[in-house]
């Protein structure tokens, strides 16, 4: 009986030993992991017709070689949303190890209206490893086929001026100038408008000094 108790005691002691060691191993694993950055905030939002601004703030950095903002398009499918391949939008040099935080910002001017994107912050460590820190989804407003960009130059105008119109798709349009009272003073153009960038001259010499508004009405071919 004494021998059996001794064996049981030995087995229990060995079991307690294994449990204690397992606990120490688990504890050691958790505390040995050091995050490359302490992220205070991460935000992405549309700030222009074809523009998304990404901003993030760190409270500290540990062995950081670089930080990348990566973007992927989210596409609808029968089985649900599908995330495309991520590509680097911007890469900023890291500060190595820093106990003081910093603010970062990048602007992505390559988005298309009507599409949804995911932006993520990726840390590249000095040892070559990478860490995905956070991500945000942005739905860009507007319609891809109704993409329109207008530039009026020079502003103010003296002897001559023009308006540049950039279209993602050709269509039918009309360009009109109005005075400060809202009265139409000139029809600059009316007819077919092609995709790409087209420059239209403004009748500056025919106008008196004042403030004018250029309005563009346009319908894409797909809506004819």
Q: Which residue has the higher pLDDT, 54 or 203?
A: 54
Q: What is the mean pLDDT of the chain?
A: 79
Helices (H), the chain: 2-32
Does residue 113 belong to any structural domain of this protein?
Answer: yes
Q: Tell me, yes or no, whether 119 and 200 share the same domain.
A: no
Which domain range does residue 134 map to?
37-139
Mean pLDDT along residues 139-147: 65
The reported pLDDT for the residue numbered 161 is 86
- Per the domain annotation, does 9 fall within a domain? no
Buried b (16+ CB within 10 A) or exposed e, 79-104: eeeeeeebeebeeeebeeeeeeeeee
Most confident range, picked from 85-89, 110-114, 168-172:
85-89
Question: Of the candidates 90, 117, 139, which is a domain's last residue?
Answer: 139
Task: Please give the pLDDT value at position 37.
Answer: 82
Q: Give the span between the Cα atoms of 14 and 108, in whole angstroms.
A: 60
CATH number at residue 79: 2.60.40.10
If asked whether residues 169 and 124 sit together in one domain, one would say: no
C-alpha separations of 33 from 6, 38, 64, 100, 176 in Å: 41, 13, 15, 20, 64
Quickly state the pLDDT bin for 42 (edges 50, 70, 90).
Answer: very high
Q: Identify whether residues 196 and 119 lie together within a single domain.
A: no
Angstrom distance (rounded) from CA 11 to CA 213:
91
Helix/strand/coil for 119: strand
Residue 183 pLDDT > 90, yes or no? no
Q: Are residues 202 and 178 in the same domain?
A: yes
On whether residue 30 sits in a domain, the answer given is no
CA separation for the pair 142, 95 (Å, rounded): 38
pTM exceeding 0.75: no
Q: What is the CATH number of the domain that holds 215?
A: 2.60.40
* pLDDT on residue 30: 30
Reported as a single tens digit per residue, the pLDDT across 9-24 is 555 544 443 433 333 3
**From 15-24, 77-86, 90-99, 202-211, the region with the lowest mean pLDDT:** 15-24
Confidence of residue 168 (pLDDT cuts 50, 70, 90): confident
Determine which of 35-44, 141-150, 161-170, 205-214 has the lowest per-residue pLDDT on average: 141-150
User: Domain total for the chain?
Assistant: 2
Last residue in a domain, options 108, 139, 170: 139
Q: Are residues 121 and 197 in the same domain?
A: no
What does the pLDDT average to over 149-173?
77
Helices and strands: H and E segment counts in the chain:
1, 13
Looking at the domain assignment, is residue 168 inside a domain? yes
Give a yes or no: residue 202 inside a domain: yes
Question: What pLDDT shows up at residue 210?
Answer: 86
Domain boundary, last residue among 72, 104, 139:
139
Q: Based on the fold, state whether residues 178 and 135 are members of the same structural domain.
A: no
* pLDDT band at residue 35 under the 50/70/90 scheme: low
What tokens were used for 110?
């390559």
Mean pLDDT for 134-156 is 73
Residues in Cβ contact with 162 at an 8 Å cutoff, skipping those fewer than 6 apart: 152, 153, 199, 200, 201, 202
In a domain, 15, yes or no: no
């Amino acid at each position: 009986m004494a021998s059996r108790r001794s064996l049981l005691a030995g087995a229990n002691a060995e079991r307690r030993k294994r449990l204690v060691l397992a606990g120490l191993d688990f504890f050691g694993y958790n505390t040995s992991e050091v995050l490359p950055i302490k992220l205070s905030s991460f935000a992405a939002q549309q700030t222009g017709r074809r523009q998304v601004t990404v901003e993030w703030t760190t409270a500290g950095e540990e062995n950081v070689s670089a930080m990348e903002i990566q973007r992927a398009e989210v596409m609808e499918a029968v089985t649900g949303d599908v995330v495309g391949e991520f590509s680097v939008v911007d890469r900023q040099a890291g500060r190595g190890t820093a106990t003081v935080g910093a603010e970062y910002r990048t602007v992505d001017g390559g988005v298309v209206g009507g599409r949804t994107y995911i932006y993520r912050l990726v840390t590249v460590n000095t040892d070559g490893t990478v860490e995905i820190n956070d991500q945000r989804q942005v739905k860009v407003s507007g319609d891809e086929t109704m993409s329109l960009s207008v530039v009026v130059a020079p502003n103010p105008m003296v002897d001559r001026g023009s308006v540049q119109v950039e279209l993602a798709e050709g269509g039918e349009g009309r360009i009109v100038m109005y005075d400060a009272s809202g009265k139409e003073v000139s029809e600059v153009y009316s007819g077919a408008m092609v995709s790409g960038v087209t420059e239209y001259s403004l009748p500056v010499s025919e106008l008196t000094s004042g403030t004018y508004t250029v309005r563009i009405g346009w319908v894409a071919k797909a809506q004819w």
